[in-house]
Amino acid sequence: QNVFNMVVEVPRWTNAKMEIATKDPLNPIKQDVKKGKLRYVANVFPHKGYIWNYGAIPQTWEDPGHKDENTGCCGDNDPIDVCEIGSKVCSRGEVIKVKVLGTLALIDEGETDWKIIAINVEDPEADNYNGINDVRRMKPGYLEATVDWFRRYKVPDGKPENQFAFNGEFKDKDFAVNVIKSTHEHWKALMAKKTDGGEISCTNLTVSDSPFCCSQECAKATVDAAPPCKAANPIPPE
């Protein structure tokens, strides 16, 4: 069906760089921290925060020890990223079903970082989207804005513009699904301890044949031991 689950990390139009914390037990969603400061994505004109619902496909892993045959670069050690282009602004932590439409190959500081373009299957327009060319037809300028966003989003932090494989061209749905399937195989090897994931916490409740599988009680104890959420810090004016 080319339909996959997506975990929403960043709702559209927001700026906080939230992501699945792969090194923490049970992989909660947390705000990224660099040099002791919470990370935000700047508003790079004309964009406001993230311009899609942004998240990840669970049970995928871009293996940093595997050189991608298409890009010539190794993986970025994270689940595969998704840009969901539907009309609804999703909630952080929401799990939605998305239809895959295509993919963009970002080269982020020398690492392969696939960006899957997808649409929520419950979007009222979802039936009209079956491939990357439908995005061009139905949402003119959105794909170009996506390339522009990924090229420039780190520039306000003093970093150079990002590069892309394939000259920044989008690959089609079949290509994207093959990328997801290969990263799923890397994830399976990680969960079976056939690949060394380094600091990644593979503790889980559902992969019964994984050496990292734990009980519901163990998982509950992990969650209960986490510090309670406090009031959010104010967003920095810059």
What residue spans define the domains of the chain?
A: 3-200
Can you give the pLDDT at residue 237? Answer: 84
Per-residue tens of pLDDT for the chain, all 238 residues = 889 999 999 999 999 999 999 999 999 999 999 888 999 999 999 999 999 999 999 999 999 999 999 999 999 999 999 999 999 999 999 999 999 999 999 998 889 999 999 999 999 999 999 999 999 999 999 999 999 999 999 999 899 999 999 999 999 999 999 999 999 999 999 999 999 999 999 999 999 999 999 999 999 999 999 989 889 888 888 7
- Spatial distance between the Cα atoms of 116 and 102, rounded to a whole number of angstroms: 6
Can you give the pLDDT at residue 2? Answer: 86
Would you say 105 and 114 are in contact if contact means Cβ atoms under 8 Å apart? yes
Closest alpha carbon to 186 in 60, 89, 20, 53? 60
CATH 3.90.80.10 fits domain 3-200? yes
- Spatial distance between the Cα atoms of 21 and 26, rounded to a whole number of angstroms: 9
Would you say 59 and 206 are in contact if contact means Cβ atoms under 8 Å apart? no
Would you say 209 and 191 are in contact if contact means Cβ atoms under 8 Å apart? no
User: Which backbone phi and psi does 29 adopt, to 5 degrees?
Assistant: -90, 125
User: Which backbone phi and psi does 52 adopt, to 5 degrees?
Assistant: -145, 170
Can you give the pLDDT at residue 233? Answer: 83
Would you say 80 and 179 are in contact if contact means Cβ atoms under 8 Å apart? yes
Can you give the pLDDT at residue 197? Answer: 94
- Spatial distance between the Cα atoms of 62 and 85, rounded to a whole number of angstroms: 23
